[in-house]
Amino acid sequence: MNDMIDSFRHVAGGMLSAHGPAVPASASSYVPGDYSIHFFLQLAIIILTCRLVSWFAQRVLAQPPVVGEMIAGVLLGPSLLGLFAPDLQAAIFPKETKNILYAGAQLGVAIYMFLVGLTLRLDHFQSKAKSAMAVSASGIAAPFLIAALITPMLLTVPGLFAPNIGTGSATLFLGACIALTAFPMLARIINERGLADSPLGTLSLTAGAFDDAASWCVLAVVLATFGGGSGVAILAIGGAILYVGFLLAFGRRLLAPLGRAVEARGEMSMNVLAITLMLFCFSSFIMDAIGVHGIFGGFILGVFMPRGLFVAELKRKVEPLAVVLLLPMFFTYSGLNTRMDMVNSASLLLIALGILAASIAAKFGACYLAARACGEDNRTALGIGALMNSRGLMELIIINIGLSKGIIGPTLFSMLVLMAIVTTMMASPLFEWVYGRRARASGELGAAAA
């Protein structure tokens, strides 16, 4: 193994010292050729690892492929590869290349959410609007109530939150973390379980979108109290409302010619594909620029895109590359920032388990009760609760922001990582147990995707 690492260091241009990645004296010392060498190797290893772990997750753990990809990202980071082979991990993923991987990760997840927006059935949403709003509101209110109850206790434990943070800001941040529904993860589970065209899938996805948008708006408020200023929150919330309002008023009409062009030709031309991808990039840029997140720009634009042959052609041309090549970069980048060895005492483990239990009760329990109160049958309500309880790597994104901004410490960060992984892994089998198997047996749902 040492010979292999030394060989790679030589090929990479001597950027790595005998004890790990060296920090270049200046940014110019890491030349473009070095970036491409690492980038292509990283992509090859990411694709191979994600496919292998996804196969294992499906065949052995009865988990959807997306969970395997999430685990693969963590395995490639400091939690496993970096723990047992730090030199090899540093050789493959040197710090200088993380920005390149980050850009690819954002492109992958944003394109996938754009494709998810294309499949959103607004007719199902309209027929389930009351339930969707109730589930969303409950999925926001209950987590913030739980956060208000447990945050004062957590503030007494040194190192969990920043020393100078107020109770209000800490409560808002923890509530946002618990309220998240891992929008990309939920979308993958819904697609892979054959729920994309079902009322339950549309209801869960719509409620999850609102919950995540609310969590990001709350995060903007918290960041404003940490030096960003009130303009951060105003721009994020106001800008998102204006953009969605514009698309509601004019989006369908402005985008309709793209659909007509595809229908007239019988296929999607390269010009239509180029225009579509340009609009996608611009939409993602707008949401990123106002401080929400680029993935919501992709999703929102997808909702207003033409339907019919346009959707079929766009998915045929774009989806395979996005799922196999680009999206795994998102999981790997998040895994590179994840540490699983920070909860290292019985008292901290007890706190971590308490946060996990409180998070499940707040999200699963509240969404289940809301669905039942709106007239959904018990089986459907349980299925909604199971799906809404998944948090995945959207959780890792928001807690990475909290860690980098000094809102939380590494220990609480690791506890929230544990919560994200457990709630995501339990989502699919719990859903199958309470809803999926019986629905498939009765013909309500098709077979789950391989």
User: Whole-angstrom Cα distance, residue 271 to residue 339?
Assistant: 44
Region of 162 (left: φ > 0; alpha: ψ -120 to 50; beta: rest) is beta
Q: Which helix (H) or strand (E) holds 281?
A: helix 270-290
Find the range with the poorest average confidence among 14-18, 128-132, 263-267, 382-386. Answer: 14-18
Amino acid symbol at 10: H
Rounded percentage of the chain residues whose pLDDT exceeds 70: 84
How large is the average pLDDT for residues 21-44?
64
Could you give the CA distance from residue 141 to residue 126 in angstroms, rounded to a whole number?
Answer: 23
With a cut of 50, say whether residue 12 has pLDDT above it. Answer: no
pLDDT at residue 5, rounded to an integer: 52
Structure tokens at 265: 């030709």
Above 60 in pLDDT, residue 150? yes
Assign 21 a pLDDT band (cuts: 50, 70, 90): very low
Cα distance between the two ends of the chain:
35
Higher pLDDT, 275 or 291: 275
- At residue 22 the predicted structure's pLDDT band, cuts being 50, 70 and 90, is very low
pLDDT band at 280 (very low <50, low <70, confident <90, very high): very high
User: What residue spans of 337-409 are helical by DSSP H?
Assistant: 346-360, 366-373, 378-388, 392-404
Q: Give the CATH class of 101-117+132-441.
A: mainly alpha
Minimum mean pLDDT among 157-161, 280-284, 375-379: which range? 375-379
pLDDT class of 126 with cuts at 50, 70, 90: low
Burial of 278 by CB count in 10 Å (0-12 exposed, 13-18 middle, 19+ buried)? exposed
Highest mean pLDDT among 31-35, 59-63, 192-196, 285-289: 285-289
Q: What is the dihedral of CA 331, 332, 334, 339, to 10 degrees?
A: 120
Quick one: which of 346, 302, 324 has its CA closest to 196?
Answer: 302
pLDDT at 127 over 70: no
Q: What is the pLDDT of residue 243?
A: 92
- What pLDDT, on the 0 to 100 scale, is given for residue 344? 74
| Angstrom distance (rounded) from CA 279 to CA 273 | 10
- What is the chain's mean pLDDT, rounded? 81
Better-scored residue on pLDDT, 340 or 69 = 69
**352 pLDDT band (50/70/90 cuts)?**
very high
* pLDDT tier, 29 (very low <50, low <70, confident <90, very high otherwise): low
DSSP state of 20: E
With contact defined as beta carbons under 8 Å apart, do 224 and 233 qualify?
yes
Give the pLDDT confidence score for residue 17 in this predicted structure. Answer: 38
> Could you give the percent of the chain with pLDDT greater than 90?
25
β-strand partners of 20: 17
d(CA 412, CA 415): 5
**CA gap 409, 161 in Å, rounded:** 6
Domain ranges within the chain, ordered by starting residue:
101-117+132-441
